[in-house]
Copies of this chain bind each other. A is one copy, B any other.
Amino acid sequence: MKFYGHEPCSRLLLGTAQYPSPAILSDAIKLSGTEIVTVSLRRESGATRAGQGFWSIVRDLDVKVLPNTAGCHSVKEAISTAEMAREVFQTAWIKLEVIGDDDTLQPDMFATVEAARILISEGFEVFPYMTEDLVVAEKLLQAGCQVLMPWGAPIGSGRGLNNVYGLRSLRAHFPDVPLIVDAGIGLPSHAAAAMELGYDAVLLNTAVAKAVDPVQMAGAFAKAVAAGREAFLAGPMEQRDMAAPSTPLIGKAFL
């Protein structure tokens, strides 16, 4: 699996927001073995220069950064944000997020496809945050996206995989496209389930940052993602409706 030519060992991507402290953020990222973290751009005060401190922390982590366009509601906003991010973070990667509804933070797939086209024409490498819509996926690929990031559930909801059927269909239709479940994951078992479906990676933030012990939870997710991936590769047993004795019946004593 490659993300625009980059092949990470870890299939867990983490966000950098909502951690109790910078130290806990760093420890969580390190323990997780994550090689790609998401970041954003926000207004910097000339007085406090808070962003400078955050940035030096992230740089010290020595991971690839995936800047997002979080909070953007229009194509224009998303594009300007992406352009600014490319300069600041010195990367062509952009997590494209164009929100269409504020209660569910559902992406606006019309705007997302349009923005993706423009950004790719400007040389960006786009990671689009999307629904599980198959037609949208096709359009994003035609626009030049080489990675797709369908949601599991609304951002920050921790509900897991709301539409397993839809995610399974998406995986089946695009067997060779790197697919990342992004958002909605609440528990390691959710992440493992996504990987068992054949997804290439999982991106999450709140489930780690808002855990009572974010560092330990980061480790838990790292293991769960690896477990789900290995299970997919190992070829799981078929589920059955009836029981089947594991211990052989043959040779059972008559007592």
A220-255 residues at the B interface, CB under 8 angstroms: 220-224, 226-231, 233-253, 255
Beta-carbon contact of B227 and A221 below 8 Å: yes
C-alpha spacing A38/B71, complex, angstroms = 42
C-alpha spacing A255/B115, complex, angstroms = 15
Beta-carbon contact of B106 and A135 below 8 Å: yes
CB < 8 Å neighbour of A110 from B135, B173, B245: B135
Point out the residues of chain B lying under 8 angstroms from A116, CB to CB: none
Beta-carbon contact of B247 and A70 below 8 Å: yes
* Cβ-closest chain B residue relative to A80: B255
A219 to chain B, nearest CB (A): 6
A185 to chain B, nearest CB (A): 10
A92-142 residues at the B interface, CB under 8 angstroms: 100-110, 113, 131, 133-136, 138-139
Q: Taking A189-B196, A223-B226, A224-B192 as contacts, is the C-beta distance between A42 and B248 under 8 angstroms?
A: yes
Point out the residues of chain B lying under 8 angstroms from A109, CB to CB: 109, 133, 135-136
A160-215 residues at the B interface, CB under 8 angstroms: 162-163, 165-166, 169, 172-173, 186-190, 192-193, 196, 205-207, 209-214
* Cβ-closest chain B residue relative to A76: B255
Q: List 14 A-B contacts (CB under 8 A).
A: A15-B246, A70-B246, A101-B134, A104-B134, A110-B139, A154-B243, A156-B243, A157-B239, A162-B166, A187-B192, A189-B231, A211-B231, A211-B237, A217-B236
